[in-house]
A = this chain, B = another copy of it.
Amino acid sequence: MKLTQNIVLFALCAICIPFSHADEGMWLFNNPPYKTLQDKYHFQPTAAWLEHLQKSSVRFNSGGSGSFVSADGLVMTNHHVGADCLQKISTKEKDYVKSGFEARSRSEEPKCVDLELNVLMGIEDVTTRVAGAVTSGMSTAEAEKARRAVINDIEKESRDKTGLRSNVITLYNGGQYHLYRYKRYTDVRLVFAPQKSIAFFGGDPDNFEYPRYDLDICFFRVYENDQTVHAEHFLKWSEAGAAEGDLIFVSGNPGRTERLDTVAHLEYQRDLLAPGALNLLRRHEVLLKNYSDRSSENARRAEDEFFGIQNSRKAYLGMLGGLQDPAIIDKKRAMEKTLRDAVNNHPKLRLAYGDAWDQVASTLKTLVKIRDEYNLIGYGPTKGAQAFNCELFDIAMTLVRLAQESPKPNAERLREFSEAGLDSLKLQLFSEAPIYDDLETVKLADSLGLMMEVMGADNELVKKVLAGKSPRDRAAELVRGTKVKDVAIRKQLTEGGLKAIDNSNDPMIELAKLIDAPARRIRQTFEQQVDEPQRQAYGKIANARFAVYGSSVYPDATFTLRLSFGEAKGYVEAGQEIPWATRLGGTFEHAEAEAIPEAQLSTARAS
A positions within 8 Å CB-CB of B: 203-205, 267, 270-271, 275, 278-279, 282-283, 285-286, 289-291, 293-295, 297-298, 301, 313-314, 320-321, 324-327, 329, 437-439, 441-442, 445, 449, 452-453, 456-457, 466, 468-473, 475-476, 593-599, 602-603
Contact = CB atoms under 8 A, between A and B. Distances in A.
A457 B267 contact: yes
Nearest to A463: B326
Contacts of A596: 294-295, 298
- Give the top 6 A-B pairs by smallest Cβ distance, nearest first: A438-B597, A325-B470, A297-B595, A282-B282, A205-B294, A275-B453
Given A282-B286, A286-B286, A442-B598, 14 more contacts: A204-B290, A205-B290, A289-B289, A291-B598, A294-B595, A294-B597, A295-B595, A324-B452, A324-B470, A325-B473, A326-B466, A327-B470, A437-B597, A438-B598
Given A204-B293, A593-B295, A599-B442, A320 B449 contact: yes
B442 A270 contact: no
B271 A453 contact: yes
B470 A597 contact: no
Contacts of A321: 449, 470-472
B294 A457 contact: no
Given A324-B471, A449-B324, A602-B290, A595 B466 contact: no
Which of A283, A294, A473 lies at the interface centre, i.e. has the most chain B CB atoms within 10 A of its CB? A294
Contacts of A593: 295
Contacts of A285: 282, 286
Q: Is the interface of A mostly helix, strand, loop or mixed?
A: helix
- Identical chains in the assembly: 2
Contacts of A295: 593-596
Contacts of A439: 597
B324 A599 contact: no
A438 B456 CA distance: 40
A293 B203 contact: yes
Nearest to A327: B470
Contact of A293 (B205, B438, B471, B476): B205
16 contacts: A205-B290, A270-B457, A275-B453, A290-B602, A295-B593, A295-B596, A321-B472, A324-B457, A324-B470, A325-B473, A326-B457, A437-B597, A438-B597, A438-B599, A441-B597, A476-B599
Nearest to A291: B598
A552 B438 CA distance: 43
A320 B470 CA distance: 10
A278 B449 CA distance: 12
A472 B594 contact: no
B313 A598 contact: no
Given A267-B457, A597-B441, A599-B445, A326 B294 contact: no
A547 to B, nearest CB: 31
Given A457-B270, A457-B324, A294 B598 contact: yes
Nearest to A602: B290
Nearest to A281: B286
B457 A271 contact: yes
